[in-house]
Each structure stands twice: as structure tokens, then as C-alpha cells.
Amino acid sequence: MIKCLAYIEQAGMLMRITRFLTVFCILLTLVFTAAAQKTKRPVPRPTPKPTPISPDVIAAKQQVSNQLYNINVFVDKMGPIAVAIEDLDREAASGKLKKEAVDANEANKKKIIAAIRGLRDGLVSLETDFRTKPALGQYLVKIQGIGTLCAQSEDKAIANQFVASKDPLRQIAQKLNDTLAVMPGPLSTGVLPAPQNRTLPVSNSATSKTIPVSTQSATTGKREPAIGMTAAEALESTWGAPSAKRNSATANGSTEVWMYPGNRSLYLFNGKITNIVK
């Protein structure tokens, strides 16, 4: 009996020793794990390099900004003139307008239509860049349709709906704004380009004069380019031959854009100057 109790006591002591060793090993493991975590240094993550912006994107963003400026200025100036033209049309229909005033009003209509056509050439060229240049393809969804909208504006003006012809131009301005918002890169901080609306009359009166754009050079005797000049006369002007040309044809006729150094351009419709950008 005594031997049995001794065996039981020894077994209990062994169990206590085993438990102590188990707890001791666990504590040692935790201590070494904590020490290892303290000494382990975090691996530095490489700093991501900024993605370079394509030169095509930077140039196109500036062109979008320029066209937006042209459209906004054109619509602002065209607004009261369009109202006056339609008012004079109603007077002409009632027989209350003299022939000279009717003729002047018709001339103003042609000038506005030619100016819209000049805007359309620039917009179509810009949209074509977004369709053909890989770097601009991701922004096409924002800008596509501006050429079609400008053609709609021209069609409305041809139909004597001059006030309504502003609506497609406003839609174009919104598309250009949306495109600028998603395009990366800086914009030039220089002076904005002159708006392409040199053919607009300077007042709401149908009998008013238009701004003269033709002047004589005192040194060479040659004339400055002027609205209505033929292509041959333009070549003999102070601007001379262009450095580059762009041609387009529509159902209404053919348009040529003559480009000169200093961002100057002449727009010729059916062989005559209809718009001048200096």
C-alpha cells in the first residue's frame, strides 16, 4: 500500500514537472518570437515613377482649349446678331424693309455661315487627331461628334435659323470642357488665340459696315489678306504662299486652310478668303 502511494506521488510530481516544462517552452517561444519581430526591418517599397505624358496629349489639350475659347467668343458675339438678323427677316417678309437693308442682311448671313464653316474645319481636324493618334484614343469618347454638331449649326444657319444654330455650338463647348477635364498635362499660360470669327459684322444693324481687314503695306505696296480675296490675290498679299495647306470638300463646296508661321491661317471657301486668323 505504501509503495502504491509512493508511485502515485511520483506520478503526480512528474505530471507537474511536465506541465511546468510545457508552459516554460511556450513562454520561451513567445519571447523569441517577439524579439525576432522587433529586430525584423520592414522592406522599403519602391517609389512608383510618374507616368510620362505623351507630347501628343499635351499638344491636343492645348488645341482643345483654343477651340473652346474660339467657340465661346463666337457664340457670345453671334447672339445679338442672330436675333437682329431674324428680326430683319420678319420685317423684310412684311415688306417694311428697304432693298439696301435686305441686301446688307443677306450679306451678314453669308458672313456668319462662312465663319461657322471655318470653325467646323478646325473642329473636324481636331476630332480626326483624336481618332487617329493612339495616345488620344482614350479621350475620343468625350470629344467625338464635335464636327457633326458644327455641321448641324451650319445647316441651321443656312436655313435662316440663326438663333437655333447656337445650340449645337453650346453642345460643342460642353464636349470640349469635358475633354479638358480628363486630359492630363499643363496648358499654356500665354495669350489665348484670336477667335476665328473675323467675318462677323460689328453691330446688329443690317446696314452697318464690317470691320475692314485689308490694309496697304507702306513698304512693299502689297495688301494685307482680306475677306473676299481670291487665292491668286492671297498669294500676292503680304502673307504670300502658305507653309502648309489642308483641303476638305463638302456638299456645299471645297474649303482650303492655308497655314502660316505664327499660328496664322487663311480659310478659303470655293477659292475665296472667308476667314482670317492672325
**Residue 192 is assigned to a structural domain of this protein:** no
Kindly tell me if the per-residue pLDDT of 212 is higher than 90: no
**Residue 131 is assigned to a structural domain of this protein:** yes
Q: What confidence tier does 21 reach under pLDDT thresholds 50, 70, 90?
A: low
> Bigger pLDDT: 263 or 73?
73
What residues contact 97, with CB distance under 8 A and at least 6 apart? 88, 91, 105, 206
**Residue 41 is assigned to a structural domain of this protein:** no
DSSP 8-state secondary structure symbol assigned to residue 153: H
**Residue 123 is assigned to a structural domain of this protein:** yes
Which of 185, 220, 239 finishes a domain?
A: 185
Quick one: 70 and 177 in the same domain? yes
Which of 185, 200, 221 finishes a domain?
A: 185
Question: Kindly report the CA angle at 115 between 98 and 222, in degrees rounded to 5?
Answer: 95
- pLDDT at position 211 is 33
User: Could you tell me the CATH number of the domain that includes residue 70?
Assistant: 1.20.120
Q: Are strands 264-269 and 244-250 parallel, antiparallel or unpaired?
A: unpaired
Quick one: 114 and 219 in the same domain? no
Quick one: 86 and 147 in the same domain? yes
Radius of gyration of the chain (CA): 38
Quick one: 181 and 59 in the same domain? yes
Quick one: 66 and 173 in the same domain? yes
- pLDDT tens track for 165-182: 999 999 999 999 899 889
The answer to whether 150 and 158 have CB atoms below 8 angstroms apart is no
- pLDDT at position 194 is 43
- pLDDT at position 209 is 35
Interatomic CA distance for residues 74 and 141, integer angstroms: 25
- pLDDT at position 53 is 86
SS3 state of residue 273: strand
Instruction: Count CB-CB contacts under 10 A for residue 10.
Output: 10
Q: What confidence tier does 260 reach under pLDDT thresholds 50, 70, 90?
A: confident
The answer to whether 224 and 217 have CB atoms below 8 angstroms apart is yes
SS3 state of residue 276: strand
- pLDDT at position 121 is 92
DSSP 8-state secondary structure symbol assigned to residue 223: B
Kindly tell me if the per-residue pLDDT of 223 is higher than 80: yes
- pLDDT at position 275 is 74
Quick one: 217 and 170 in the same domain? no
Interatomic CA distance for residues 117 and 104, integer angstroms: 20
Quick one: 217 and 180 in the same domain? no
The answer to whether 105 and 206 have CB atoms below 8 angstroms apart is yes
- pLDDT at position 191 is 43
User: Could you tell me the CATH number of the domain that includes residue 250?
Assistant: 3.30.1450
Amino acid, single-letter form, for residue 173: A
Q: What confidence tier does 197 reach under pLDDT thresholds 50, 70, 90?
A: very low
Quick one: 78 and 147 in the same domain? yes
Interatomic CA distance for residues 93 and 31, integer angstroms: 101
Quick one: 173 and 254 in the same domain? no
Quick one: 71 and 174 in the same domain? yes
Q: What confidence tier does 202 reach under pLDDT thresholds 50, 70, 90?
A: very low
Kindly tell me if the per-residue pLDDT of 240 is higher than 60: yes
Amino acid, single-letter form, for residue 37: Q
Which helix (H) or strand (E) covers residue 253, if one does? strand 253-260
- pLDDT at position 246 is 81
Quick one: 276 and 175 in the same domain? no
- pLDDT at position 48 is 66
Which of 146, 167, 185 finishes a domain?
A: 185
Q: At 159, phi and psi to the nearest 5? A: -85, 15
**Residue 248 is assigned to a structural domain of this protein:** yes
**Residue 172 is assigned to a structural domain of this protein:** yes
Quick one: 222 and 174 in the same domain? no
CA-nearest of 77, 92, 73 to 206 is 92
The answer to whether 241 and 142 have CB atoms below 8 angstroms apart is no
- pLDDT at position 116 is 92
Kindly tell me if the per-residue pLDDT of 207 is higher than 50: no
- pLDDT tens track for 82-132: 888 888 888 888 887 788 888 888 888 888 999 999 999 999 999 999 999
Find the domain containing 272 and state its range: 212-278
35 burial (CB, 10 Å; 0-12 / 13-18 / 19+) is exposed
- pLDDT at position 271 is 84
Total structural domains within the chain: 2
**Residue 156 is assigned to a structural domain of this protein:** yes
**Residue 12 is assigned to a structural domain of this protein:** no
